[in-house]
Amino acid sequence: MKKQKLSDVSKLLKAAQKPSRIARKLHPFYRGKIEVVPKCRVKNLDDFSIWYSPGVAAVCTDIYKNPELVYEYTNKWNSVAVISDGTRVLGLGNIGPEASIPVMEGKALLYKYLGGVDAYPICLGTKDEKEIIQTVKILQPSFGGVNLEDIEQPKCFPVLNTLRKECHIPVWHDDQQGTALVTLAGFINALKVVGKKIGKVKIAMVGAGAANICITRLLILCGANSKNIVMVDIKGTLHKERFDLKNSPEQWSLAIDTNANDVRGGIKEAMENADAVIALSAPGPGVIKREWIQKMAKNPIVFTCANPTPEIWPWEAKEAGAAVVATGRSDFANQVNNSLGFPGVFRGALDVRAITITDTMCITAATELASCIADNKIRPDKILPTMNDWEIFPKVAASIGVTAIKEKFAGKKLSYDKIHDNAKVIIKRSRAITETMMEKGYIKSAKDKI
C-alpha cells in the first residue's frame, strides 16, 4: 500500500484526538448522560395515590404472595445494573470508582438507546473480590440482570464465575463475553474476506487478559485449532514452561493447550507467519510495529483493539500489508466494539427471563451479528455493521432468547419472531423518546460547545 503523506498522517492524528477534545466540553455541559424519568402517566397529584400510597400496598401484597409478579408489576424486567470497582477502566487502568462513572453512564446510555434497556451505573467503593460478589448478590432483587465492567484480572474471573453459579439472574462481564462476542463476529467475516478457514489459520493473541482469554475460548469452540494459537502477555509468549502462571488458572490452561510449536519470545515472534493477530493489550501506538505485520502470512488480519488508542494506527497496519484492519474505535472502519453486542444480548435475555448467558448463547449471537452483512456486501473495510444499523439489535436479542430457551435457561418461551418484534418495538420507543426530547429542547443543543 502507498505510504501516507506526512500531512495526511497529521490530519488523521488530529481527527483521532477530536472525540477526547469534545468529550471534555460536553460532559460538564450536560452534567452526566442519563437521568430517571417517569414511564407512567401523571395527570394530576391524585394519581400518586395509585402509584404510591395507599394504592401501591395492594401491589406489594401481590408480589409478596407471588414473587414472580415483580417482573410484571415493576421495572425489574427491564433493569440492568452496570457494576464496576474502577480497577481496569478502558486503557487507563486502576483509576477508581469515581473516575469510572463516565464510562458506566456511557454504558447505560448505550443500553437505553440501542437496546431499550434501563441500566444504572453502580461504582463500588471496594476492590475486594468477596465484597463485590456479595454486593451483586444482595442487589439481585432490584435488577433483571447485571453487567460487570472494568474489573481487573485475575479477580474478574472468580467474580464472574461465582456470580454465574450463585445468582438467579444473568450476570455478564462485558470485558470478557461482550468483547469476545463482537470480536468473533468480526473475525468470522474477516476470514471470508481473505478466503481462509478458521480451523487452518495461525492466530497471535496479543494480551492475555480477560478479553483475549474469553476470545480465545470462543474461537476454539468455533473451530480454531488451539495448537495454532500463540498468546503473549507482558512477560512473553505463553507456553508449557510458563510456571509463573500456575496461580492463574485461566492463563495456565491456555499455556498448556496452545502454542504447540513452542514459540518463545514476545509479540514479534508470536506474529511471525501468523494469519491473524488479535490484540487487546496496552494502548498504542507503537505496541505493534509495521515490520512485524510484514512478517505475517499473506493477506493477514489485524485486529488492534486497545482503548483509547490501538496498538498500531490502522493506516500504518495497511501500509505494512494488512488485508483487513479493525480497531475498537468508531472513527475508523471496522469498529470491533462491545456496543454492537450487549444491548441486544440483554434485550433478549431479559425478554425471555434468562437466568444466565452461556458461551453457546454468545456464539449464536456472534454468528447472527456476522450474518447481518450479506456475504456479497462484506469488504475489507466493512466486516461488521455499525451502531447506526439499529435493526441488528433485535436480531441479536432474538438469537440470544431462542438459544436460552433451547438450553433451558429461560423462564419464558417465545418464538424468534416474537422476541425480535418485541425488541423492535421497545428499541424504537427508546430512540423516539430521546429524539422527541431533543426536538422539544428538553435535551439542549450543544452546538456552540463543540
Tens of pLDDT along 202-231? 999 999 999 999 999 999 999 999 999 999
Q: How do residues 269-315 score in pLDDT, each as one tens digit?
A: 999 999 999 999 988 899 999 999 999 999 999 999 998 889 999 99
Q: How do residues 80-133 score in pLDDT, each as one tens digit?
A: 999 999 999 987 889 999 999 999 999 999 999 999 999 999 999 999 999 999
Q: Pairing state of beta strands 276-279 and 203-206?
A: parallel
CATH of domain 22-175: 3.40.50.10380
Lookup: cell for 208: 492475555
How far apart CA 406 and CA 410 sit, in angstroms, is 8
Domain-by-domain residue ranges, the chain?
A: 22-175
**Which residue among the candidates 3, 14, 25, 52 is catalytic per the annotation?**
52
Given a contact cutoff of 8 angstroms between Cβ atoms, the answer to whether 279 and 304 are in contact is yes
Whether residue 444 lies in the annotated active site: no
Lookup: cell for 336: 470491533
- C-alpha 83: how far from its chain's center? 14
Task: Please tell me whether the peptide bond between 170 and the residue prior to it is cis, using omega within 30 degrees of 0.
Answer: no
Q: How do residues 122-133 score in pLDDT, each as one tens digit?
A: 999 999 999 999
> What is the strand order of the sheet 276-279 is part of?
236-237, 229-233, 203-206, 276-279, 301-304, 324-327
Which of 285, 269, 293 has the alpha carbon at shortest distance from 327?
285
List the alpha helices (DSSP H) in 339-449: 342-351, 359-371, 392-406, 416-440
297: left (phi over 0), alpha (psi -120 to 50) or beta: beta
Single-letter amino acid, residue 246: K
How far apart CA 414 and CA 399 sit, in angstroms, is 11
How far apart CA 158 and CA 154 sit, in angstroms, is 8
Whether residue 107 lies in the annotated active site: yes
- Give the three-class secondary structure for 155: coil
**Which residue among the candidates 107, 289, 395, 424 is catalytic per the annotation?**
107
